[in-house]
Structures are given as C-alpha cells and as structure tokens.
Amino acid sequence: MQIAIVGAGIVGAATAHELAIDGHDVTVFEQRSAAAEEASFANAGLLSPALLIPWAAPSLEGGLRRQLWGAQATLRLAGGTGRTDLAWLWQWRRAARSPNAPATLAALARLGQYSLARTRQAAADMGMDAETSRGTLLLLRTAQEQARLEPALQALREAGVVVNAVDADTARLIEPGLGPELPLAGALHTPEGESGNCRLFAQMLRYAAQERGARFVFQARVQAVGSAPTSLRIAGDAAGAVRRFDAVVLCAGTATAALLRPLGAALPLKALHGYSISAPVRDECHAPQGAIIDPHHRVTITRQGQRVRVAGGAELGQSGSAAEPEHHAPTLQKLYHTLSGWFPGGAQLSSAQVQVWRGARPMLPDGAPVIGASGMPGVWVNAGHGAAGWAQACGSARIVADLLAQREPGVDVQALAMRRF
C-alpha cells in the first residue's frame, strides 16, 4: 500500500518504521525541517512505567481545585485561555470520575508494557542505544501519596509490571545521590523502568525507516486531508493539486484535530504545555542513576547519558505569541528547586550548556490516545498520547500497522478507538 504519514515526531517516526517493516510504500510529511522538532524534542524521556508519568491519566491527578489553586498548584491557566480550553478542562474533570476510568487505566497499562517491549526490540534490531537508563523510583513524601496512586498500581500489576514498595533507606541505596534534607516516607521502585533520549530515538527510527525505503519530506505543511479518495493537499503545491494515497495516518499531535475537522470528525485534542531543563552531570556520585518521579510536584528527573533532565509544569492556553511563547519563571524555578533539592550537586545548573525548553503535550480528556480508524475511509489516527508519547509510540505504531493489515493487534485497543468521542 502507498501510505502517507502526517508528522515526524516520535509517534510518526515509529509509525513509519513499523509500516516500512511490513513492506508498505511510506511517505512522511513534516512541517519542520527535521524529525522530532516539536513535542518530542526535549520531553521528559520517561519510557516506563508509562502510567505513572505525570499527567498520563486524569484519575491520578487529584482534585481539580487542588491542581489549579494554592501554593502547590500544578496546572496553570496561561494567557489566552479560551472557552474551548475551559470546556476541555471540564471534560478532563469528568473523565477522572467516569465509570470508564478503571478500564482506561487498564488499557494504558497494557499499552505501556506492550510498547516498552516493542521499543526494546526496535533498539536491539537497530543495534543502537538512545542514552538509556534502567530503573524508575517514585518518591513518596507521605504515606498518603501511595493511596492516591493505588488504582494505577493495581492496573500496572495486572499488566505484569513489577512495582516494589521500599522504605526511605532502601530508596537512597537505589539512588545514592538523593539529598538527605527533603522528607521521604518511602518510594515505589520499578526495576524494569526505563528512560532515555526521545529525540535521539526518533532520529534512529527515521534512519531505520529510510533504510527500508520510507521517504521523509520536510518543510511540507499538510493543509487538508481527503477521504474517498484518500489524499493530501500540501502547502506550496499547485492550486487544487492533491496527492493520492491508499491510506493516510495522522500523527500530527494537536494539528490532527484541525485536519480532521473539515471531514466532520471532532477530536477534543488540546496542548498541555510543559517545560524541561537539561544540564550536564556535575558529579556522578550525586547525579541520578535512573528515572525519578516526584508525584507531589508532578515532576520527573531522568538520566540521559552525561546529562540530567528535569521536566514538569502544565499550562493550558498560550502565553506570549504563538511564535515565541513566554516561559513561566515560577514553573522553571520549581524545576530548578526540585532537581537541586533531590540531587544537590548532581547537575551543572550554571553551565552554558543548560537547555531550557517549552513544549506541548497533545492530550485528550481521558488521557488515552486515539489509535485506529478515524471513521472516514482511508484515514487513520495515531495521536493524543500526551505526556506518554515516547512510552506509547512504538506499541501504538505496531497496532496501527496491524490494523491496516487487518491483523489482530497485540493488545486490546477498544478503549482507544476514535468512536469514544
């Protein structure tokens, strides 16, 4: 089949790789000048356990009032927040209380495990390493924090994920660089947890797909998608010109919703913006060895080769101009404070090599992506992975490839279908 993919982020690159493996004629259209230049550029880099990534599911985030207001608020309404943003936030709140929430958590846990196995297989096949670190430690400041996470922990255990509850002393043996000053009641440890460099892995997938014949067309903005016949209209092509394909897979993040709208499909996809700070390792003894999750502040700290990355923050709306959004100084200060508090002396935060980044998490109200048929002939969707884009990318890509080939996917994807919206 001749298949077009819109978007060359981690999800688009993974989809191109899986479809090329199956022998399809694949062309990827990306509006930027390289792969993984937007949401995949400098994200947290946490692969597993996907369900414990902050903002992975609304039912794990606590009450909306506590998230929006108070000294420990984790969600910010940025300038430019409109009526559609507030409507989305209401849907997010309802999803957290929905009777379907346990089934969604279970589906996300299965997808995370399936995708982790597929990611590791792809890395082994390519014979490359994306600055990978093993082991994830979720830090608990109080005993009550674990109770809020219990639905996710149950879903993870049912999916086969090993999660060990450890005391504070054991946590500090696992991560010797943990500072002694901050309160630590205990931790949850997943020995098979994993983190790494998402952008590097996306580039690896791109080259692997190209070796199998896939083509990547950069600086190509898709203006419209057609169904029956399946087609794309690219900015800069002759007026009225369309490019025909047997199938189109939309992996374009938040742009996916805009491309579907003229076809009559409404997808409540919003960008929840977050930040990351990447800094060189200062002292191996004081730096993190694997991945750390601080659920209190919704912050992750990951080790990526000789760098440490701290990521967090959640903004709905758009501060500054669309071209040059303003960075929210208090959010960045919280990230600096969290990193230096948990790992004092572990990173060179005053180095000229420190990188600060603000990027979007393309999210749907129930926290789960849409994977599969759009409802329009020839048009498929693989988008809305939110904070867990890399954690779910390879598994989602394999599922799309199997569905296009009319094969039974490796995991049940009924809870991830477009029809739920």
Predicted confidence (pLDDT) per residue in 143-196, tens digit? 888 888 888 999 999 999 999 999 999 999 999 999 988 889 999 999 999 999
40-54, 142-156, 399-413: which has the minimum mean pLDDT? 142-156
Model pLDDT, residue 69: 54
Q: CB-based contacts of 330: which residues, under 8 Å, 6+ apart?
A: none
Model pLDDT, residue 70: 54
Helices 150-158 and 101-126 meet at what angle, rounded to 10?
Answer: 50
Residue 158 tokens read as 């049912």
Query: pTM of the entire structure?
Result: 0.94
Model pLDDT, residue 321: 45
Model pLDDT, residue 147: 85
Return d(Cα 170, Cα 278) in angstroms, integer. Answer: 27
CB 172 within 8 A of CB 5: no
Return d(Cα 74, Cα 71) in angstroms, integer. Answer: 9
What is the gyration radius of the CA atoms in the chain, in angstroms? 20
The amino acid present at 89, given as its one-letter code, is: L
Q: Are strands 355-363 and 270-280 parallel, antiparallel or unpaired?
A: antiparallel
Angle, alpha carbons 46-322-77 (nearest 5°): 65
The total of other beta-carbon atoms located within 10 Å of residue 111's CB is 29
Mean pLDDT of 12-18: 98
Q: Is 340 left (phi over 0), alpha (psi -120 to 50) or beta?
A: alpha
Residue 170 tokens read as 């054991």
Kindly report the three-state secondary structure assignment for every residue of the chain.
CEEEEECCCHHHHHHHHHHHHCCCEEEEEECCCCCCCCCCCCCCCEEECHHHCCCCCHHHCCCHHHHHCCCCCCCEECCCCCHHHHHHHHHHHHHHCCCCHHHHHHHHHHHHHHHHHHHHHHHHHHCCCCCCEEEEEEEECCCHHHHHCHHHHHHHHHCCCCCEEECHHHHHHHCCCCCCCCCCCEEEEEEEEEECCHHHHHHHHHHHHHHCCCEEEECCCEEEEECCCCEEEECCCCCCCCEECCEEEECCCCHHHHHHHHHCCCCCCEEEEEEEEEEEECCCCCCCCCEEEECCCCEEEEEECCEEEEEEEEEECCCCCCCCCCCCHHHHHHHHHHHHHHCCCCECCCCCCCEEEEEEEEECCCCCCEEEECCCCCEEEEECEHHHHHHHHHHHHHHHHHHHCCCCCCCCCHHHCHHHC
Place of tokens 């990351």: 276
Residue 369: pLDDT band (50, 70, 90) is: very high
Output the CA torsion sign for 111, 302, 359, 71: positive
- Percent residues over pLDDT 70 in the chain: 95
The total of other beta-carbon atoms located within 10 Å of residue 176's CB is 12
CB 136 within 8 A of CB 293: yes
Residue 63: pLDDT band (50, 70, 90) is: low
Model pLDDT, residue 249: 98
Helices 10-21 and 198-211 meet at what angle, rounded to 10?
Answer: 30
Which of the four CATH numbers 3.50.50.60, 3.40.50.300, 2.30.30.170, 3.10.129.10 does domain 2-420 have?
3.50.50.60
Q: What are 278-317's pLDDT values in tens digits?
A: 999 999 999 999 999 998 889 999 999 999 999 999 998 8
CB 114 within 8 A of CB 395: yes
Q: Is 289 left (phi over 0), alpha (psi -120 to 50) or beta?
A: alpha
Q: Is 82 exposed, middle or buried (0-12, 13-18, 19+ CB in 10 A)?
A: exposed
Mean pLDDT of 211-232: 97
- Percent residues over pLDDT 90 in the chain: 81
Model pLDDT, residue 324: 54
Helices 10-21 and 389-404 meet at what angle, rounded to 10?
Answer: 30
Model pLDDT, residue 74: 78
Q: What are 91-102's pLDDT values in tens digits?
A: 998 998 899 899
180-184, 218-222, 247-251, 383-387: which has the minimum mean pLDDT? 180-184
Return d(Cα 382, Cα 400) in angstroms, integer. Answer: 7
Choose among 362, 375, 403, 369: nearest CA to 263: 375
Model pLDDT, residue 325: 65
Whether 80 shows a pLDDT value over 90: the answer reads no
Whether 123 shows a pLDDT value over 90: the answer reads yes
Model pLDDT, residue 133: 96
